[in-house]
């Protein structure tokens, strides 16, 4: 995968994130960039998610509120205080049992959506498509749909 640099894309500030529009009537989708590691300038993946109702004021277990996005994988919460977003990955439990999907919070940003046809938009679209394919592979491996996936992972991962 080509590494994407965070500095190449416009990022929304906290105040603008709280004013994003969403809901059932609107189909406002946004790009969410997941960082390779905390305080990194390199993106691990890009998600394309539809914002549900604006929830920046919801404070239950999120002190600064949160935003709920519908992603191709499932509905995920973007925490506004820590700027983290859960990312699915394949977890291989010890003992030769079937793999499982594990959600791990990673540092994230929400991008200001680039104009249609711009180079930045095309790059983000391709990165989001790649993540969608990765999610499909993880789901297939976790459901034991394709045992050939274990051959790719190596003999130590076969259940």
What predicted TM-score, i.e. pTM, was given to this entire model? 0.79
At 109-136, the pLDDT tens digits run 999 988 888 999 999 999 999 998 888 8
pLDDT given for residue 19 in this prediction: 80
**What is the band of 158 on the pLDDT scale with cuts at 50, 70, 90?**
very low
pLDDT recorded at residue 31: 93
Q: What is residue 127's predicted lDDT score, i.e. its pLDDT?
A: 93
Q: What is the pLDDT of residue 129?
A: 93
Q: Residue 38 has which token pair? A: 């905390």
| pLDDT tens readout for residues 28-86 | 889 999 998 878 889 989 999 888 866 655 556 666 778 888 887 788 888 888 889 99
30: nearest Cα among 21, 43, 40 = 21
pLDDT of 156: 47
Dihedral angle sign, alpha carbons of residues 53, 55, 56, 57: positive
What is the enclosing helix (H) or strand (E) of 70?
A: strand 66-70
Strand partners, 70: 50, 75
The single residue listed with the structure tokens 């790009």 is 31
Better pLDDT: 140 or 153: 140
Q: Quote the DSSP letter at residue 2.
A: P
In the predicted model, is pLDDT for residue 106 greater than 60? yes
Q: Alpha carbon of 20 to those of 45, 85, 129: distances in Å? A: 21, 17, 23
pLDDT > 60? residue 4: yes
Asked if residues 85 and 32 have their Cβ atoms less than 8 Å apart, the reply is yes
Tell me: pLDDT of 148 over 50. yes
DSSP 8-class letter at 7: G
**Region at 23 (left for phi over 0; alpha for psi -120 to 50; beta for the rest):** left
Cα–Cα distance measured from residue 83 to residue 96, given in angstroms and rounded to the nearest whole number: 35
Model confidence at 96: pLDDT above 80: no
């Amino acid at each position: 995968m080509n590494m994407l640099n965070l500095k190449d894309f416009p990022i929304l500030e906290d105040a603008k994130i709280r004013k994003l529009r969403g809901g059932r009537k609107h189909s406002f989708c946004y790009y969410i960039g997941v960082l390779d590691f905390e305080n990194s300038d390199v993106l691990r993946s890009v998600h394309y998610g539809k914002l549900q109702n604006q929830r920046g004021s919801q404070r239950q277990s999120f002190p600064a509120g949160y935003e709920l996005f519908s992603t191709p994988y499932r509905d995920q919460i973007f925490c506004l205080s820590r700027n983290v977003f859960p990312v699915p990955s394949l977890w291989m439990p010890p003992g030769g049992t079937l793999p499982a999907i594990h959600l791990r919070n990673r540092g994230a940003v929400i991008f200001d959506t680039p104009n249609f046809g711009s180079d930045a938009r095309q790059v983000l679209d391709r990165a989001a498509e790649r993540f969608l394919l990765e999610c499909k592979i993880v789901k297939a491996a976790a459901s034991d749909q394709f045992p050939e996936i274990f051959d790719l992972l190596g003999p130590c991962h076969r259940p």
